[in-house]
Amino acid sequence: MNNRNIKQDLEQIDSILKESGISRRDALKMMGLSGAGLMVGGATEAEAATTLKASDAKGKIVIVGGGLSGIATAAKLTHSLSNPDITVIEPNPNSVSYQPGNTLIGAGLWTLDDTTYETQNFMPNGVKWIKDKAVEFNPTANELKTASGEVIKYDFLVVAAGLVNDFGMIKGLEEVGEVYTLDKNDAARAKKIVGQNGLGSIYFAEGAADTWTQMQKFVSDAKSGKKVTGVFPEPHTPFKCGGAQKKMVNLTNARLEEAGARANADLQFLTNGKKLFGVPEYHTAIDGQMKARNVNVRYEHKFTEIDLVNKIAKFEKHWEEKGAWDADLEEFEKIVKTEAVDVKYDFCHVIPPQKAPKEIGSSPIGSEKGWVPVDKATLQHVTYKNVFALGDIAAVPLGKTGGSARKQYAVLCQNLIAVMEGKEMTAKYNGYTVCPLITNIGTVMLAEFSYKPDGTGAMAAPSFPLDPTQERWIYWLLKYYLLKPMTQYGMLSGRA
């Protein structure tokens, strides 16, 4: 980590806050955040406290995946164990690059340089890094095999391998196939199709840069007087950053307005679901935002195909109708109806269907749906008690954001150490996740939510006493200036 850069980041934050008449301390208080995550140089109080309380528990810990969750976990375990024996298996030299920044790259607000980081600069001291992929798992023998054939034994396994974007699930994008968000080889293949001819996707880093090129072309066509259509479909699978497509439609809207060209563009947002958000008050707020921006929202549209030549996005519209009375069940049958819908586009931002990497999803530690099945509170594997999972790959009901991983890694480390010490696990993940929903260039609605108290569903869980359904400039500062340093210097060092 480079202290000079951190200092510059903090100075930049201070100056923008100063212009607005508030101090960094007050801003962080308003955001309900601790300043500890932003402290640089030397040991923080939090770090000192964990060092003092370091556990003498022993055992070889192997972490599969050295992205955001994997490195944060390795760092925290390094502080929390007096004799850590930790190995990270991660093939990508840039695995810690800042993925949430892709949204800002896609709208021309950041560049790739703002988000690209080298893993070696964040690998905690003393952690062994195997630059390879784990491809076979034998949890009954406590071992796994890497792509190069090395067999690695472990006492405890942490699975933090994220997810893979499967563009190939959309007919017409088979050649693009599976793409990891930060993999340069995948990007080179994907770029030949996605990022060309009106198609964009911020779900891989270079794709985000090309999305900005396509968005600019779209805006300039609208500005020249052409009537244009922008199409923003959500996938039918779970996906990381559930708010990403809403951010993209809002940022496109902002760029069109900036160019004085909004009147010439039809913006269509299509979702497979029946709602814009699982938490009712956030759904209502986002519905209001979409109406205010004249975005055409279409529910129950499954994105199935794209005709690249004629620039048509194809959907299966689905709905239920009441059938005959079932005397046994004492209710009407539900008949699912479908109809094909074609939408011609000038610009289409694709969020690909997503799934667990297949070598894990279809292994003995995976599940029928692919994700790693863990207890949603303790993050311990449902079958193998020395295995834990977190981040995008964990089968927990909410999540698939860096914000949820930030809460999960602290819980996981505490529970893993309890198991190593032969004690009961006491830490519980409450389902917290956060979506800084960009509503305009300069405003964000901070949608924080968690499980309900009974552990089911989702409810709003604001960290501080401000109406969470309002779009605010202060949250833009958080998104634009604070979250990246908090992630890089707080979470990836295991401190916050």
Whichever of 101 and 198 has its CB closer to ligand FAD, that residue is 101
How far is the C-alpha of 64 from the C-alpha of 393, rounded, in Å?
11
Site string for ligand FAD, 155-174 (x = CB under 6 A): -----xxx------------
Whichever of 270 and 444 has its CB closer to ligand FAD, that residue is 444
Residue 401, interface with ligand FAD (CB under 6 A)?
A: yes
Q: By CB under 6 A, what part of segment 419-478 binds ligand FAD?
A: 436
Q: By CB under 6 A, what part of segment 329-358 binds ligand FAD?
A: 357
Task: Please select the residue that binds ligand FAD; options are 39, 62, 68, 379, rule is CB under 6 A.
Answer: 68
Task: Please select the residue that binds ligand FAD; options are 76, 246, 400, 484, rule is CB under 6 A.
Answer: 400
Task: Please select the residue that binds ligand FAD; options are 172, 195, 235, 403, rule is CB under 6 A.
Answer: 403
Site string for ligand FAD, 14-53 (x = CB under 6 A): ----------------------------------------
Task: Please select the residue that binds ligand FAD; options are 202, 279, 461, 486, rule is CB under 6 A.
Answer: 202
How far is the C-alpha of 319 from the C-alpha of 316, rounded, in Å?
10
Q: By CB under 6 A, what part of segment 228-267 binds ligand FAD?
A: 240-241, 244
Query: Which span sits near ligand FAD by CB under 6 A: 277-285, 291-299, 302-310, 387-395?
Result: 387-395
Could you tell me how many residues make up the chain? 496
Query: Which span sits near ligand FAD by CB under 6 A: 17-25, 336-344, 390-398, 415-423?
Result: 390-398
Q: Closest residue to ligand FAD, Cβ-based?
A: 67
Residue 103, interface with ligand FAD (CB under 6 A)?
A: yes
Residue 90, interface with ligand FAD (CB under 6 A)?
A: yes
Task: Please select the residue that binds ligand FAD; options are 230, 238, 353, 402, rule is CB under 6 A.
Answer: 402
Residue 97, interface with ligand FAD (CB under 6 A)?
A: no
Query: Which span sits near ligand FAD by CB under 6 A: 98-106, 313-321, 374-382, 457-465?
Result: 98-106
Site string for ligand FAD, 358-377 (x = CB under 6 A): -xx-----------------
Q: What is the contact surface with ligand FAD in residues (CB under 6 A)? A: 64-70, 89-92, 95, 99-100, 102-103, 133-134, 160-162, 180-181, 202-203, 240-241, 244, 357, 359-360, 391-393, 400-403, 405, 436
